[in-house]
Amino acid sequence: MDATDPTVFRVAGPVGPADVPRLCEELSALLREGTAAGCEVVCDVGGVTRPGLATVDALARLHLTARRLGHRMAVRGAGTDLRLLLELVGLTGLLSPPAGPAGRTGGTSASRPGTT
């Protein structure tokens, strides 16, 4: 793996409150196994079924776990229901930006107002 490649951590199935400590421990172990500090962690949630508040809690705690170990974390593959839940609780900042046309990420190339 290239040093610039993100570390991918997959979460799948229904996530219950009892799963949260295990998921955090699995992420901690993965990051301690030689991932350089400061590398990005991508939490792939494409396999999550029936997302609920336990899923949101797990993602928030996984984000904190990654930060405590010196890493950035973004969530990838969230379905509409999970996106709406994250929006409801103010955690949309965890989501990776959606890919636009030709694989570009969202945003604009326009200049900032007041600049030329």
What tokens appear for 9 in the block?
A: 């951590």
Confidence class for position 108, pLDDT limits 50, 70, 90: very low
Give the whole-number percent of the chain exceeding pLDDT 90: 69
**pLDDT of res. 33:** 85
**pTM of the entire predicted model:** 0.79
Give 54-107 pLDDT, tens digit per residue: 999 999 999 999 999 999 999 999 999 999 999 999 999 999 875 444 444 444
Instruction: Say which DSSP state 28 is in.
Output: H
Instruction: Report d(CA 116, CA 112) in Å as an integer.
Output: 8
**pLDDT of res. 114:** 54
Instruction: Say which DSSP state 5 is in.
Output: S
Q: Give the chain's length.
A: 116
What tokens appear for 73 in the block?
A: 């974390």
* CA distances (Å), origin 70, targets 23, 28, 77, 88: 18, 11, 23, 27
